[in-house]
Structure 1
Amino acid sequence: MTTSTTALPSPVPPAERMVILDIIRGFALLGILLMNIEYFQRPLQALMLGFNSEQSGLDYAVAWLSFTFVQGKFYTLFSLLFGLGFIVFIDRAQQKDSAAQALFRRRLLVLLLFGVVHLLFIWGGDILHLYALVGFLLLFFINASVKRLMVWSVVLLLIPILLIWLGSLAVEAAMQVPEEAAKLQASFAADKEKLLQDIARGDVLYASGRYWQVVQWRMYEFQALYISPALLVFVPTILGTFLLGAALGRAGVFSNLEQHQPFFWRLMWLGYAIGLPLALIYGIYGTEVEVISPSIRNAALMTCSTLANIALCLAYMATLVNLYLHKVRFIGVLAPAGRMALSNYLLHSIVFTLLFYGYGLGLYGEFGRAVTTLMALTLYGFQLWFSQYWLQRYQLGPVEWLWRSLTYGKRPALKI
């Protein structure tokens, strides 16, 4: 027999949604697309090489703007929203006297399924599987106070910076010993040569490979990128940002925006004051940073990048809140796209892999960054219109409906 303590609650009705979170989510969706568009035409392992300096003219300018003001900031924003959503989800579920933790685990398992399908069969740059796996760690903080969430957030976000500095200092020390320096230089050269070979192989497969060849290559890329020491950076960064969002949610700053308007004004100005100079430093001096080449200089620049990502993420978020509180109407168009963020995110991958990859139209590598960015903006503009059109007729996006159905074990109403 099912009791009231184990029954799964019903999904949250659309009327109970926080519109500002949908607006921020819709904006984050744009930023993620503007970054991902590069890697629909570039193997994911090229991330290890950093900025693509082979571009010129308008392509270089567009790529640099994205590198400086978009890259890292919007995944951070999306991660923050995930943590904030965790608190909203758990608190609402607990109010209904339900098995909140069991429900959240089911929600994560379904998200993990979506992520694995996306990663293997659509596009290898998936972030959903990481969100789902790291999301299970949030259950250790289910009743944590705002202070505890903030402390853990800061500690976790500092771990990658500390690891980068320790690695760089160790390499610098070893370089002072001639024998060790020669070994390290040979090792770095071999690693880079292997990476360049992988990137060249990926270019060929994405440009002209058959579908199942590309699927197999995605599995190889996944192993190279994720089943590696990089997890020591990915996991603390994602969890730390989750907890930062959870702290904002538990503090209630989004439950009563008007009351917390001074907080958002301070957050906006402080975020820009810290984030813009650091982002510009990284944008100017960090275009030659390669993850595979540890050095004191690279560690300093990557520290600037990490801090800029957090500061500008918070500044962008606070700016949207302030515009919303001042009733600036145009930002409202972002909300429908934010309500359908998962469907729209997956559509990005479907559209651009079919457009660029060899098993689709085969346009891989045919366009520079300026043109592909224009393509991204065009698709996003279409999504703004279509999301509004869809939600005038249906309560949920198609993938959101499936997510809720599998999470709650029953099909919510779809049509309005």
Structure 2
Amino acid sequence: MTSTTLSPVSGNERLDNLDVLRGLALLGIALMNVEYFTAPLVDMSSGIDAGQGGVHWLADAFVHVFVSGKFWTLFSMLFGMGFAVMLQRAQAAGRPFVPVYLRRTAGLLAFGLMHAWLIWAGDILVSYALGAIVLLLLFRNTPVSRLWKWGAGIWAVLLGMMLLGVALMGLAATMDPEAAGPAQLAGGEAMRAAEIAAYTGGSYAEAVAVRIRFFTMMLGNNLFLVPLVVGMFLVGAWLVRSGAMAAVDAHRALFVRMAWIAGLGGALLTALSLMVEVDPAPGTDATAADMLALSLHMLGSPLMSLAYLSIVVLALQRGVRWLRLVAPAGRMALTNYLLQSVVGTLVFYGYGLGMWGEVARGWQVLGVVLFFIVQVLLSRWWLARFSQGPLEWLWRGFTYLRFERPGRTAAA
């Protein structure tokens, strides 16, 4: 290796806390996604289904209040941390960073597109890849003290725009009660019907065609998501570049403050969202009240994810060892994320077991927990033999233009 080559991260350079957080984020993402392995994605962002009863209503309420929106934002922070770690290593060694990171981002985009088109349309990786380019171009040299301010500012501006839209929707409805008539809703209804037909009784090829159609239809939504992703990237990068993640003992007061302030703030906003509307209508069916509830929920989600991160970091610092059980799954986050979608669609879609709409919410949650335990065990088994997951090996080989022989001596 020459002095101008950037190499993969070795095992002793990893921040172990990040693997634990990634593992927990994987569980949260699966708890959120499973509902939309068995329902139209066009309905995503709906709230607590009043049609559920008993334990199934409790499971739905738990996921909506404590999980939905909290774990993709947590994963976004972790992505920003990874960016900061790579940048610090490159700068410390005096090695080029931009070409390596662009290849890494191109690889992530390729995985995201394959996921969205060939496996499941509810992908987040494409938004991460686009956000990574923004992060590289605009914020690579941002001073540490400004990173979290930029992140919070981006969220504040975008959600302020959403609240302005809510006000305009309310005004339009007052002036013209037919403003959200059948013509406006036709696109969403057609997409919903297409999803149900393809995913319940269609072939794999028909499902792929609908996934691509959905991806194209929702491109504007995905582009709106990119700045939100970037905002969380910046908060994550700040936590690494400030030294907080590497020296938790010295920054314990910071994590305690974040746990209390972000946790209480996020809980309050989530409660306000529920007071406005418990089950807001999704997509094109949404009213001004629905959009207000969604906006409040979205505003509370990053705060709660920051609180979750802080609580976990503090628990690890105090020696709570059982949390480290999920670290192997976190080390194989890409592989496990895509595996969740493969298994989820094979269980629920018509070209698989065809259980679409047949599994109640409580059983969905239990199934996710059990499958995640299997993922943790499989990850431990795999990492006892190889230093990284199969898709991580492929991604890093493309990133560094060097495919090392898999094994315990390979780079982690």
- Please give the TM-score of this superposition, normalised by the length of structure 2: 0.93
Tell me the distance in 2 between the aligned counterparts of 1:297 and 1:363.
33
Contact 2:269–2:297 (CA under 8 A) maintained in structure 1? yes
Distance across 2 between alignment mates of 1:302 and 1:191:
20
Which of 158, 161, 164 matches 2:159? 161
Alpha-carbon distance, 1:128 to partner: 0.7
Q: Is residue 328 of structure 2 the alignment partner of residue 362 of structure 1?
A: no
**Partner Cα separation in structure 2 for residue 124 and residue 299 of structure 1:** 23
Aligned Cα root-mean-square deviation (Å): 1.9
Partner SS state of residue 254, structure 1: coil
Within-5 A mapping of 1:14-25: 14-25=11-22
Q: Distance in 2 between matches of 1:194 and 1:92?
A: 48
Counterpart of 2:210 in structure 1 is 217
Q: Tell me what 1:292 maps to.
A: 284
Pairing of 1:253-292 with structure 2 (within 5 A): 253-290=244-281, 291-292=283-284
The structure 1 residue matched to 2:200, chosen from 203, 207, 215, is 207
The answer on whether the counterparts of 2:273 and 2:292 sit within 8 Å (CA) in structure 1 is: no
- 3-state secondary structure, aligned to 1:185: coil
Q: Which moved more, 1:289-298 or 1:33-42?
A: 289-298
Count of aligned pairs between the two proteins: 406
Q: Which amino acid aligns with 2:118?
A: F
Partner of 2:5: 8
**Of 164-173 and 58-67, the range deviating more from structure 2:** 164-173
Aligned counterparts of 2:122 and 2:224: Cα–Cα separation in 1 = 17
**Who is 1:47 aligned against?**
44
Secondary structure at the counterpart of residue 264 of structure 1: helix
Measured against aligned partners, the alpha-carbon deviations of 1:196-244 in whole angstroms (never above 9, x if no partner) come to 3421331121111101000000011111222x3x346312211111111
Q: 1:332 to 1:182 in 2, by over 3 A?
A: closer
Compared CA separation, residues 296 and 357, structure 1 to 2 (3 A)? closer
SS at match of 2:388: coil
Separation in 2 of the partners of 1:209 and 1:295? Answer: 32
Indicate conservation of the 8 Å contact 1:67/1:283, yes or no. Answer: no
* CA displacement 1:257-285 (0-9 Å, x = unmatched): 11111211121122222122322332454
CA distance in 2 between partners of 1:146 and 1:238 (Å): 18
- Offset, 1:191: 3.0
- Residue 184 of structure 1 aligns to a residue whose secondary structure is coil
1: CA distance, partners of 2:329 / 2:172 = 51
Moved more, 399-408 or 154-163: 154-163
* CA apart distance, 1:351: 0.9
- 1:118-137 matches, within 5 Å, as 118-137=115-134
User: Residue 208 and residue 232 in structure 1: after superposition, are their counterparts in 2 closer, same or farther (change >3 A)?
Assistant: closer
Q: 1:193: how far off?
A: 4.5
Q: d(CA) in 1 for partners of 2:341 and 2:105?
A: 21
AA of the residue aligned to 1:311: L
Q: Helix, strand or coil for the counterpart of 2:284?
A: coil
Residue of structure 2 aligned with 1:71, choices 68, 71, 89 = 68
Residue segments in structure 2 that go unaligned for 5+ positions in a row: none
Of 59, 83, 107, 2:104 maps to 107
1:296, 1:183 → 2: CA distance? 14
Alpha-carbon distance change, 407 to 69 in structure 1, aligned in 2, over 3 angstroms: same
| Aligned-pair identity (%) | 36
Structure 1 residue 345 corresponds to structure 2 residue 342: no
Higher mean alpha-carbon deviation, 163-172 vs 97-106, is at: 163-172
Q: TM-score, normalised on structure 1? A: 0.92
Q: Find out whether 1:336 has 2:328 as its counterpart.
A: yes
Shift, 1:161, TM fit: 1.2
| Aligned residue type for 2:9 | V
TM-aligned CA distance change 1:352 to 1:388, over 3 Å:
same
Once the two structures are TM-superposed, the CA of residue 372 in structure 1 deviates from its matched residue by 1.6
Query: Is the CA contact 1:145–1:250 (under 8 Å) kept in the aligned structure 2?
Result: no
SS at match of 1:394: coil
Native 8 Å contact 1:69 1:279 kept in 2: no
Unaligned runs of 5+ in 1: none
Q: Distance in 1 between matches of 2:239 and 2:198?
A: 44
Matched-pair contact (CA < 8 Å) for 1:80–1:245: yes
Pairing partner for 1:97 from 88, 91, 94: 94
- In 1, Cα distance between equivalents of 2:355 and 2:292: 38
SS of alignment partner, residue 44 of structure 2: helix
Report if the CA contact (8 A) 2:127-2:223 is conserved. Answer: no
Displacement after TM superposition at 1:24 (Å):
0.7
